[in-house]
């Protein structure tokens, strides 16, 4: 669901309270990054996506799964977790996943490529 400006919303939750590099990549790719502040943010990703009507979620923790699984159980989001590379995340987006769960990978290119792939598949401002 794109916002009224046509930009996709991407929620980012990092167990350690990071995610600023990924958020910068999302923004550069044309998305609206919603960075959840503070430690344990990954566990709130489903709640924030639901509240904001977000299109995508990117979750980070040691296992790459806790926040994504919580969002799936609570809200039914289609997820892929345990990811360790940007390519795996892009593949998950191509497969229709709404939340991708990674080990700690706060990289600009991750946010950029995930957002660009979603835009290529679903349209929106590029």
Per-residue pLDDT of the chain (126 residues; tens, 9 = 90+): 444 456 899 999 999 989 999 999 999 999 999 999 999 999 999 999 999 999 999 999 988 889 999 999 999 999 999 999 999 999 999 999 999 999 999 999 999 999 999 999 987 654
Tell me, what's the pLDDT at 3?
45
* Of 111, 89, 87, residue with least CA distance to 8: 111
Chain centroid to CA 95: 14
Phi/psi-derived region of residue 115, left when phi > 0, alpha when psi is between -120 and 50, beta in every other case: alpha
Tell me, what's the pLDDT at 5?
53
Q: Which token pair is 40?
A: 């344990």
Tell me, what's the pLDDT at 46?
97
């Amino acid at each position: 669901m794109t916002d009224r400006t046509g930009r996709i919303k991407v929620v980012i939750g990092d167990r350690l309270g990071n995610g600023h590099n990924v958020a910068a990549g999302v923004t550069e790719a044309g998305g609206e990054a919603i960075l959840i502040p503070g430690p344990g943010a990954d566990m709130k990703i489903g709640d924030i996506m639901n509240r904001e009507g977000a299109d995508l979620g990117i979750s980070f923790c040691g296992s790459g799964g806790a926040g994504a699984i919580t969002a799936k159980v609570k809200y039914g989001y289609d997820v892929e977790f345990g990811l360790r590379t940007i390519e795996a995340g892009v593949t998950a987006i191509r497969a229709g996943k709404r939340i991708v769960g990674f080990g700690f990978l706060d990289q600009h290119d991750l946010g950029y490529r995930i957002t660009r792939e979603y835009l290529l598949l679903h349209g929106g401002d590029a």
